[in-house]
Each structure stands twice: as C-alpha cells, then as structure tokens.
Structure 1
C-alpha cells in the first residue's frame, strides 16, 4: 500500500510538471489570432507526450530533431555530478565543523554564529564572481593557474562545486549546531554525564543519533535552495548542463523532461528513506489517536457560507486591531536591531520616492567623457568611480547611484509585498488546513506539497516569466501593469503551498494545548479561538517567516537578473548594434545581468555596488528577524534584562542627611516583580 501511494504521488507530480510546461507556450501565444485556450493546449501536449515518437529535442530556427533522452542524458549526468559533489562537500564540512564548534568557548561560539549569519546573507552570484576574480588575480600575479573559471572545450568541476557547496554548508552547519545545543540540554544528557560518560561519547553515540532524522527533513529545504543556485552557477561558469540545453530549446517537451529528470531521483530517494524511518505510520497514529486533537477537532466545512457564519468575521473591530498592531510595533521598536532594520527600509524607500518625484526618474548618462576643453577624450563608458559618477556607470554610461536610488522603491517595496502575500495567503489556507481538514486529508496535502521541494524555484519562475517579461521584435505581449501583476502573482503562488502546510502545522501544534480545550468549553467559536489564542502564539513565527520569504524573493530577483529578467519588463533593442538589455524600472536586478555577462572578469569591480545593496537589505531583514526573536524571548523569560543602575549625585552638607540613594539590584528587581 505504501509503494502504491508513493507511485500515485509521483504521477501527480508528473502531471503538475506537464501543466507547468505548457504555460510559456500559452503566455507567448496569447493574443494571437489563431491562439487556443490553456486547457486546449494542455490536452494537445498531453496527447503528444503520451506518444514516445514525439519525444524529440528541437531548436527554434533549426530543422534538426533528435531523441530527447540522447540529448539531455549526458548534460543531466554532468549537472548531477556538480550538484551531488557540492552537497556532499558542504554536508561533510558542516558535520565536522558542527562537532568541533560544540566544544568551543561560548564567546568564540557566538562569534562563529555571527560569521555564519554573514555568509548566509551573501548571494551565490557574488560568491561565484569573487571566486572568478580571485583565480584571475592569482593568474596575473603569480602565473599559477589555480582552476578554470569557465567551461569551454573541457568540463569544469572544481569552481562550480566549491561555489555551490558554500551555502549548503553554512545552512546545515547552523541547523546541526542549533539542534546539538538543544539536545545537550535534555535530561538524559545529564544522566549520562553522571555515569561518567565523556562529552565526546555522548555526542557521538546519543546526540547525533537523535538529531539525524530531524536533520534529514532540513536537507530538503537546503537541496531546494541548491537546485535554484545551480541554475545560476551553470550560467556563470558557462557549463553545458541541463540549464544550457533548456535555454537552447525552450519547448514544452524539453521543459517537461528537464523538470522530470530533476524531480525523479530526489523524490524517490527522500520518499524511500522516509518509508524506512516509518515516519508516515507515526504521523497517522499521532493525528488519528485518542487525544486532545480528536476530542476538540472542528466540524468539516460544508460551504463557504457556513464558514463565514460560524466564524463571525464581521465582528472584527478594525480600529481596535489597528491600535493593537501599532502598540505591538512600538514595543518591538524598543529593540535596537528591529528598529535599525525597519528604519533602513523606511528611509530607503522614502528617499527613493522623493528622489523619483523631484527628478521624474531621471538617470544621468555619460557615454564619452572629455577634458574641460571639450576636445580631449578621457574615456568611454563604463566609467569607474568617482568620476563622472560617485558609484561609477554601467556599460551604457548610466549612473549606478541614480539607478540604485530610483530602483530601491521597486525592488524593496515589491519584495516586501510578495513576501507579505506569501505569508498572508499561507496563513489563510493554513488556517483552513488546521481547522477544517481531516488528518488523512492533511497527510495527503502534505505529501503532495512536499514534492515541490524537488523542483528549483528559480527555474520554475524562469519558465513561467519568460514570455511575460521578455519582449519580441513586435513589443511586449502584456502591458506594464499586467506584467507587474502577473510577476507578483506567479512569485506568490509558487510558494503558497509550502507556507500553507508550514503554518497549518504550526497552528495544529497550538491547538493541541490545554488552554484551547478550556476556550472550547467556555463556548469560543472557531474564529474566536484563532484570533484570541492561536494568532498571538504564531505571530512572532509569522514575522520570522515573512523575513525569510523576503530574503528568498530578493534571491529570486538576483537569479532572474542573470538571465535579463527584470521586474516590470526588460528593455531590449534588436539588430547588429543592439544595446545590452536593461530594466524599465531601474530595479536592482537590472545591473545583475551585467555581472552575469562579465562575471566581473573584465575588472569592473564597481558593479558590486548592486550586490552590496542586496546584501545590506538582507542584513536589515535579518536584524528585524533577530529583534523579533529577542522580544519574544524576553516575554517568555528566556532572556533577562537587568534595569540600568541610576547614578545620582547629591551635594550633602551634613553627612547624617536622611537623603539616601536606593540602588536597584537584581534581587530587589526580582522580588518586586514577583510581588
């Protein structure tokens, strides 16, 4: 029965891939006189897909047709060698570094954690670019050819594997370190220490054994991120892997087989491993067993009207809710990390709006720079800083500083908006998932959504956005507003299933508490329980999830920018003397494409200002996340903040004066608080 379920979910994943594969063709043909509807095109493609004779690899403008497996199999093996090599290298170092960091002093360990936070904020593109610059610099200075920075006639392995392994190593290192610290606080560790077992023996024989199943689940998210990063790494290092052949033949058949080749091995590996761990039976037994969940589960939804009637949504008081949110925000602003992160976004977006309003989005441009006499030519674009522009210029002579300022409102605001929509929609459907679906249905939904982890997010976004953001010689297929709305919708929907299941499980954990049972006994309906009891508990988690989604959206912007997919559309000129593609809105990924084309190998170091802007934004969001965590830990008592001692200076003429200064000590503060 388990094998049958495994195959059924695999076939459902294949069907989803086939549905996605038709979207580029549908979007690109929309509006043409002979266009057909999406479902008609999907049905035609399904008929073609079921015929093995139609499994052909074709390139637009070429008459040649080749069996698709013969073309894609070797690039697939090449891409998997790089990916598996990077994951193996990253996980190997993460494992041993986590073991070694466990025995470090607390001061050194805190420093290691700060370094990990920094490395996790560095985009994979900048790591690849800096690695290329390092190799070229060493070659020029010492004449030593350390490694090849691009693939031409021979395959390159070292540079892409090293670049791709850094982020998985950092992520797994942080996860292992956190779980080891939590496991060492448990009671059985104290018991083992009392028996004289060494710390190393406890770590190797007991702690690692307990954290490995949980680490296995985190590997899915890490591999999901690595798959998206590989999509960019192959482009930067000119690797002729799956990405290269996908872009050469962007047909529904090639898209479908590319995604199926990526999806199949990871799906069966993780699903078979989960069957071996017997986690499915444990989950079913816990959800359907006799307990609080079974006792207090809500009735199944019969219609949307019944939901609205039962939950009494109109009883919400908007003014009171706004006041509560304002007070909560003011409370968090007392944390300097949260305040610093929020002020960055507020000041940056506001300055961008003011600058755009006063200059009408004007960007200074200098293609040729002359001396003061107006005759002697100094140079041509691109120009390094500080002349004629503070941050230098791009290849067309446009000021990078002006583009960063004007594009800040588009990059940051819409990234915040997409992250908010992901969390809000996920919370909406996650509430229905936790309150309304039966345990068996929840299990099926979770297993279906789990398959999304095996498809690279950036690759799916590329497939869906290609016919929307890129113009043809006849112009764009969609208006400017339509392009923005479609991109927001696509980037939101791609992650909503994952946030739905994630938040649904968070809500279920809260519903199993005893105070939920008491609220149900006192007559609280579903909406009251959610709004008054569940939401305050998951509120900090929502903020953290919002920050994580914001960072992920910025990374997707960077990845799409490498392929000249810019927010709002890409301006392109055609012909022999065509200018490089640039962004219509000057959003920050518009300069990423130039980094992707040159890889900074040409020495244009000032292009890194764009990456610095992305990194500072990620740091600011990490500050907000850390601030929320600290405020929450202060509430529950994990962190303790001693009031500052007030110093008072009194000029007393008489030493026997009764004016005595009372200092607040830690003991007095605790006694006063408890009374």
Structure 2
C-alpha cells in the first residue's frame, strides 16, 4: 500500500512537470488571448508524450532529428556526477567540521556561528565569480593552472564546478548541525549520561549523532533544492554542457518534460524510500475545529463560507488591528538590527525615487574620455572607475552608478512585493490546510508539495518566463504591465504550496496547545481562535519567512539575469551588429548578465558593484531576521537586556522575601505582599 502511494505521488509529480513544459509554447503562441487554450495544448501534448516514437530532440539551429533519451543521457550523467560529488564533499565536510567544532571553546564557537551566518548570506553567483577570478589571476600572473576554469569541446571541467557547488551545502548543513547538536546536548538524557561518567565524545558519537540523523535528513531536502538551482547557474558560468544546456538549446515541450523528469526521478526515489524507512507516526492532539470533514471541494467551500458569515463584521474595530500592528512595530524597531535593516531599504528606495523624479531617469554616457590635452585617448568603454564616473561604466559608456540608483527601487520594491505575496497567500493556504483539511488530506498535500524540492526553482522560473520576457524581432508578445504582472504571479505561485504547508504546520503546532481546547470549550469560533490565538503565535515566524522569501527572490533575479532574463523584459537589438541585452527598467539583474564577459576580460566593475548591491540587500534582510528572533527570544525570556544587567551593583544581603525583577534581573528587596 505504501509503495502504491509512492507510485501515485510520482505520477502526480510527472504530470505537474508535463504541465510546466507546455506553458512556454502556450505563452508564446496563445497566451492571455485564449487562457483556456492551455488545456487543449496540454491534451495534445499528453497524447504525443505517451508515444515513444515522438521522443525526439530538436533544435532551431539544426534541422536534424535525434533520439531524445540518447541525446540527454550523457549530459544528464555529467550533471549528476558534478551534483552528487559536490553534495558528498559538502556534506562530509559539514559533518566533520560540526563534530570537531563541539570541542572548541564557547567563545570561538560563537564567532564560528557568526561566520557561518555571513557565508550563508553570500549568493552562489558571488562565490562562483570569486573562484573563477582567483583561478584566472593565478593563470595570468603566475601561469599556474590549478583547475580548468571552464569546459571546452571534449575537455570537461570537473574539479572547479564541484568544489564551487559544494560550498553552499557545506555551509548550510554545518550551521544546521551545530544548532541541532547544541539543542540535543541541552536535553535531560545527555545530563544523565554525563553523570554516569560517559565522556563527551562518547555521548556525541553514540547518542547525539544518532538522534539528530532523521531531522538532518529532512533538512537536506531544502539544501539539495537550493543546490539544484545553484548548479543551473554554475553550469552556465563554467560552460558546463550538462542537462540544463540542452534544455535551453532545444526548449521544446518534449525536451523540457524529459529533462525535468530525469532530474526529478532519482531524488524523488531516494527521499521517498528513505522517508518510508524512517517513517514514524505523528499524532497531533488537535481540536476538531471543522464543522464537518469532507473531501468534497464543494463542501469545503461551503464550510469556509459559513465561517466567513459567522464573523461579526460590524463589531470589528478596524483601528484595533492597526493599533496592534503599530505597537508591534514599535517593539521591533527598538531592536537596532531591525532598525538598521529597515533604514537601509528605506534610504535606498527613497534615493532611487527622488533621483528618478528629479532627473527623469537620466543616465550619463561617455563614449571616449580624453586626457587634459584633449587629443590623447584616456579610455574607451567600458571606463574603469573613478573617471569619468565614480563606479565606472558599462560597455556602451553608461554610468554604473546612475543605473544602480535608478534600478534600486524596481529591484527592492518588487522583491519585497513578491515576498509579501508569497507569505500572505501562504498564510491563507495555511489556514485552509490547518483548519479545514483532515490529517490524511494534510499528509497528501505535504507529500505533493514536498515534490517541489526535487526541481531547481530557478530553472523552472526560467522555463516559464522566457517566452514572456524575451523580445523577438516583432517585439514583445506582452505589454510592460502584462510582463510585470505575469512575472510577479509566476514567481509567487512557484512557492505557494511550500509556504502554505509550512505555515499550516506552524498553525497545527499552536492548535495542539491546551489553551486552544479551552477557547473552543468557551465557544470560540475558528475565526476567533485564528485571530486571537494562532496569528499572534505565528507572527514572528511569518516575519522571518518573509525575510527568507525576499532573499530567495533576489537570488532568482540574479539567476535569471545570468541568462539575460530581466525583470519587466529584456531589450535586445537585431542585425549584424548587436548591442548586449539591456534591462528596460535598469533593475539590478539587468546589470548582471555580463558576468561571464566581465570575468574573462578583467573588467570587474561590470559586476562587482551590482553584486555588492545584492549582497548588502541580503545582509540588511538578514539583520531584520536576526532582530526579529532576538525580540521573540527576549519576550520568551531566553535572552535579556544586557544594558540593564550592566547597571546591577554588587549583590546585597537579602532575606527570604527577596524577589527578582524579571526585566532587569535586579533584587528589589521587597516581596509582592509589600
């Protein structure tokens, strides 16, 4: 029965991949003019897909027809060799470092954690660019070729792509293992084992490591998901002709479907079979908050409408939630990390808006720069900094500083907007998941949403957005407004199943508490329970999720920029002499498309400043996330206000009536009765 269930989930995953593979042709040929035409296209492709003789690899550059599986198999194996080697090296180093770190002094361990937070915030493109620049520097300066920088013809690059790709899973798993081992050592059974005289190394290897393995396995899904997207970019930067290269070269529904299924299958089988081996029953003691459990969609909608009508809208005070939000913001802004991160975004977006209004998005341009004599040529585009422009210019002589300033508002505002839409739609989905679906239905939804972890998110985004954002000789297929709206919708929907399940599980944990049963016994409706009990408990987790989604959106922007897919559309020129693709709005991903050229030519400023802008934005959001965690820990009593603690003087003689003030950890010398 369990194997049959795995087969059903696999078939559902394959069907979802087929649905994705049909979208590019639909957007390119029919699109918004006939939305229901997608289903006819899907039906036609399904009939073609089940016929093995139609599995043909085609490209626009070649009129020949080749075997689909025969063409894709070798690059697929090449990609898997790089991916599994990187995962093996990264995970092995993470375990070795995590075990060794537990024997370090506590001060050094805290510094190490801060360093891991910093490394985890560095985008994969920055890591790949720095590694490649280092190899080129050693080659050009000392003639030393440590690793092959890129694949060429039959000379495949292995070592450098593998080592670069292994950094992300190593850092992520290292950080997770440190936290889990630290939590495990705080449990009672560890104290008992130590009291029996068992040494720390024995407790770590025999007990702690065994207990954290199931949780570690589940964390690796998210790590592998991020690594798959990074491989999509690293293969591009190092000119690796893996499976993604052949997807982009052909870009037919058949090639897309076959390639994604080949990538999906091994990871699905590995994780599903391991889940089956590790499966343990999780019984949540949840109150029955639904009127009637039913798998009929009509009945579920009727129950939701009934709950909606029960809300006493006339008695709701619209200012009450606004005042509550305002008070919460004051609590958060008092934390300097949150204030610093929010101020960064406020200043950058405001400066960009003011500049655009004052100059009408003017960008300075300098074709040729002469010396003081007016005859000798000093530089031609791209001009290095600081003359004629502080941050240099691009290949056409446009000021990098002006373009970065103009594009800041588009990059950051739409990044924040997409992250907000992801969280708010996930919040609504989580309410439906936790309050209206039964346990069995929740398990099915969790398994189906879990399948998303086995497909590279950036590659799926590229597949869906390429026909929308690419300009043809006849022009764009959609208007600017349509392109922006469609990109926002697609980048939002891609993760809604995951955010819904994540927030739904957070709600389930809150619903398992005893005070929820008390509220239900006292007559509290589901709306009352959600608004007054569940939402306050998950607000901090929701804020953290918003920050994480914003960082993920920025990384997707960067990945799409490598492939010249810019937010709002890619402006291209056609003819014998073609200019590089440009972003219509100067948003930052449009400045990142020249990464490969910049690295090979040594014009570092073409990408250095925009990568710095992305990194600073990610660091600012990380500051906000850390600040939110600190505020919540302070409220829970996990940490305290160190400034108040410094004001404590030497301890005085106290009596049995002495009590301790909870906020300042200072003895008052009075009892509550006084």
Summarize deviations over 1:230-251 as a string: whole Å, max 9, x none: 0000000000101111111000
Mark the CA change 1:314 to 1:601 in structure 2 (over 3 Å): closer, same or farther: farther
Q: Are residues 1:564 and 2:557 paired?
A: no
Mark the CA change 1:119 to 1:519 in structure 2 (over 3 Å): closer, same or farther: same
* 1:348 positional shift: 0.7
Summarize deviations over 1:639-670 as a string: whole Å, max 9, x none: 0225266799xxxxxxxxxxxxxxx9843269
Partners of 2:18 and 2:117 lie apart in 1 by 38
Summarize deviations over 1:60-116 as a string: whole Å, max 9, x none: 142200110000000000000000011001000000101111111111111111111
Summarize deviations over 1:169-227 as a string: whole Å, max 9, x none: 01000100000000000000000001100000000000000000000000000000000
Mark the CA change 1:640 to 1:298 in structure 2 (over 3 Å): closer, same or farther: farther
- My pick for the range that moved more, 301-310 or 463-472, is 301-310
8 Å contact from structure 1 (residues 150, 156) kept in 2: yes
Partners of 2:551 and 2:45 lie apart in 1 by 36
Aligned to 1:82: 82
Summarize deviations over 1:581-609 as a string: whole Å, max 9, x none: 010010111111011x3251211121211
Partners of 2:673 and 2:72 lie apart in 1 by 69
Mark the CA change 1:173 to 1:269 in structure 2 (over 3 Å): closer, same or farther: same
8 Å contact from structure 1 (residues 570, 582) kept in 2: yes
Mark the CA change 1:133 to 1:194 in structure 2 (over 3 Å): closer, same or farther: same
1:94-105 superposed matches below 5 A:
94-105=94-105
* 1:375 positional shift: 3.4
Q: Indicate the SS of the match to 2:471.
A: coil
Q: Indicate the SS of the match to 2:608.
A: helix
8 Å contact from structure 2 (residues 287, 517) kept in 1: no
Mark the CA change 1:443 to 1:35 in structure 2 (over 3 Å): closer, same or farther: closer
8 Å contact from structure 1 (residues 296, 517) kept in 2: no
Mark the CA change 1:579 to 1:298 in structure 2 (over 3 Å): closer, same or farther: same
Aligned to 1:660: none
Partners of 1:576 and 1:335 lie apart in 2 by 57
Mark the CA change 1:435 to 1:82 in structure 2 (over 3 Å): closer, same or farther: same
Summarize deviations over 1:148-176 as a string: whole Å, max 9, x none: 11000211111100111101101000100
Aligned to 1:222: 223
Partners of 1:674 and 1:611 lie apart in 2 by 61
Aligned to 1:437: 437
Aligned to 2:657: none
Mark the CA change 1:671 to 1:465 in structure 2 (over 3 Å): closer, same or farther: farther
* 1:314 positional shift: 6.2
Gaps spanning 5+ residues in structure 1: where?
649-663
Number of equivalenced pairs: 651
Aligned to 1:258: 259
Mark the CA change 1:670 to 1:6 in structure 2 (over 3 Å): closer, same or farther: farther
Mark the CA change 1:449 to 1:34 in structure 2 (over 3 Å): closer, same or farther: closer
1:603-642 superposed matches below 5 A:
603-606=602-605, 607-642=607-642
8 Å contact from structure 1 (residues 29, 35) kept in 2: no
- My pick for the range that moved more, 637-646 or 359-368, is 637-646
Segments of 4+ moved more than 4 angstroms = 31-36, 294-298, 311-315, 644-648, 669-675
Q: Indicate the SS of the match to 2:379.
A: strand
Partners of 2:287 and 2:431 lie apart in 1 by 17
Summarize deviations over 1:324-380 as a string: whole Å, max 9, x none: 111111111111111100100111111111111101011111122123454332221
Mark the CA change 1:645 to 1:59 in structure 2 (over 3 Å): closer, same or farther: closer
Mark the CA change 1:430 to 1:450 in structure 2 (over 3 Å): closer, same or farther: same
8 Å contact from structure 2 (residues 289, 435) kept in 1: no
1:341-352 superposed matches below 5 A:
341-352=341-352
* 1:266 positional shift: 0.2
Aligned to 1:235: 236
Structure 2 length normalisation: TM-score? Answer: 0.94
Partners of 1:305 and 1:8 lie apart in 2 by 32
Partners of 1:532 and 1:236 lie apart in 2 by 50
Aligned to 2:597: 598
Partners of 1:524 and 1:35 lie apart in 2 by 43
Partners of 2:413 and 2:175 lie apart in 1 by 29
Q: CA RMSD in A?
A: 2.0
Summarize deviations over 1:9-29 as a string: whole Å, max 9, x none: 100111110011000000011
Q: Indicate the SS of the match to 2:384.
A: coil
Aligned to 2:297: none
Mark the CA change 1:534 to 1:36 in structure 2 (over 3 Å): closer, same or farther: closer
* 1:293 positional shift: 1.4
Partners of 2:316 and 2:448 lie apart in 1 by 34
8 Å contact from structure 2 (residues 307, 526) kept in 1: no
Q: Are residues 1:543 and 2:536 paired?
A: no
- My pick for the range that moved more, 26-35 or 120-129, is 26-35
1:235-634 superposed matches below 5 A:
235-279=236-280, 282-283=281-282, 286-287=283-284, 292-293=285-286, 299-300=292-293, 301-303=300-302, 304-312=304-312, 315-595=315-595, 597-598=596-597, 600-606=599-605, 607-634=607-634
Mark the CA change 1:105 to 1:367 in structure 2 (over 3 Å): closer, same or farther: same
Aligned to 2:112: 112
- My pick for the range that moved more, 637-646 or 192-201, is 637-646
1:125-204 superposed matches below 5 A:
125-153=125-153, 154-204=155-205
Gaps spanning 5+ residues in structure 2: where?
294-299, 650-662
- My pick for the range that moved more, 498-507 or 373-382, is 373-382
Summarize deviations over 1:424-455 as a string: whole Å, max 9, x none: 00010101100110111111111111111101
8 Å contact from structure 1 (residues 562, 593) kept in 2: yes
8 Å contact from structure 2 (residues 598, 604) kept in 1: no
Partners of 1:485 and 1:439 lie apart in 2 by 35
Mark the CA change 1:605 to 1:674 in structure 2 (over 3 Å): closer, same or farther: farther
* 1:35 positional shift: 11
Partners of 1:120 and 1:673 lie apart in 2 by 48
